Amino acid sequence: MISCLRLVRHSSAFKTVIGNESAMHEIEIRLPVLMQLNGLRTSPFTAPVKHAQVQQEVMQDASEIHNEKFTKNVLDKVNHQILNNQCGRLFAVVYFAGKQKLVTPEDLVMVEGVFPPNIGDKIRLEKVMCVGGLHFTLYGRPLLSRDLVNVEATVVEKNLSHCRVYFRSLRRQNNRKTKFSREMQTLLRINCVDIMHKIGEIREVEGADGRIF
């Protein structure tokens, strides 16, 4: 570019365009710097870019569709078993008297310690953490809905345990302590473990609803 300018410098056409010799000299000095900056500058006359019209389409993830189908299939199968009583003998994990118990219908369950219900009382065990049948198991986080599972039990027997001896002695110290204790033991008969409605439905009220875990 510079060599080109030098060639053109003495021509008459050049003098008519630029005119001044010193101005020409200045251009020659600055040109390399200007050349470097040239790439960084944005041209003020950028032509507007015309994009081609693109038709947008919402694609669903193939695995998501598969998962939805799979979930629906599983729920349908479980619901079918619930409705047609094909679950087999259900088991449930219930939380009562401060302990978790895995129970099935016709089980005898012992509760140790203070337990207010009397003999013959029918009680419903509301804190169900897990219920399972032949082909499926439902886990609560931590409890299943109160309407979903119905576990009923009858108090069969109330009695005291055998005498437990608390004995402590230190030899040659004349230190000895003996205590006797008999705990209250209550025997419950589990009458039924039932699933009351279909799963996979959104109920009006869900959660712990009044139960304290």
Partner 1 sequence: MVITSPTLFARSRGPDRFWKRRRILALSAHFYGRKQNCFRVAIRSVHRALSFSTKARALKKRDMRILWNTRINAGCEEFGLNFDRMKIVLDDTGVALDRKVLQNLAIWEPRSFRALAMLTRAKEAEQGLNSLQGPPPGVVTRGML
Q: Which residues bind partner 1 (CB under 8 A)?
A: 67, 70-71, 74, 91, 93, 100-102, 129-130, 132, 137, 139-142, 164-169, 176, 178, 213
**What distance in Å separates the CA atoms of residue 5 and residue 35, rounded to the nearest whole number?**
14
Q: In angstroms, give the least distance from the CB of 137 to partner 1.
A: 4
Q: Which two tokens stand for residue 46?
A: 């950028």
Q: In angstroms, give the least distance from the CB of 125 to partner 1.
A: 14
Provide the 8-state DSSP code for 55: -
Judged by beta carbon, residue 32 or residue 142, the one nearer partner 1 is 142
**What distance in Å separates the CA atoms of residue 129 and residue 95, rounded to the nearest whole number?**
7
Instruction: Cis check for the bond before 142: say yes or no (omega within 30 of 0).
Output: yes
**What distance in Å separates the CA atoms of residue 60 and residue 62, rounded to the nearest whole number?**
6
Judged by beta carbon, residue 106 or residue 121, the one nearer partner 1 is 106
In sequence order, what E strands does 53-148 have? 91-96, 99-103, 108-112, 122-125, 128-132, 137-139
**What distance in Å separates the CA atoms of residue 149 and residue 53, rounded to the nearest whole number?**
57
Q: Which residue has the tokens 């251009």?
A: 27
Q: Which residues pair with 169 in a beta bridge?
A: 176
Q: In angstroms, give the least distance from the CB of 115 to partner 1.
A: 19
Q: Which two tokens stand for residue 91?
A: 């088991």
Q: In angstroms, give the least distance from the CB of 85 to partner 1.
A: 20
Judged by beta carbon, residue 11 or residue 86, the one nearer partner 1 is 86
CA 36 and chain centroid, separation: 58
Q: In angstroms, give the least distance from the CB of 74 to partner 1.
A: 8
Judged by beta carbon, residue 126 or residue 132, the one nearer partner 1 is 132
Q: Which residue has the tokens 């219930």?
A: 94
Judged by beta carbon, residue 117 or residue 140, the one nearer partner 1 is 140
Q: In angstroms, give the least distance from the CB of 116 to partner 1.
A: 24
Judged by beta carbon, residue 116 or residue 210, the one nearer partner 1 is 210
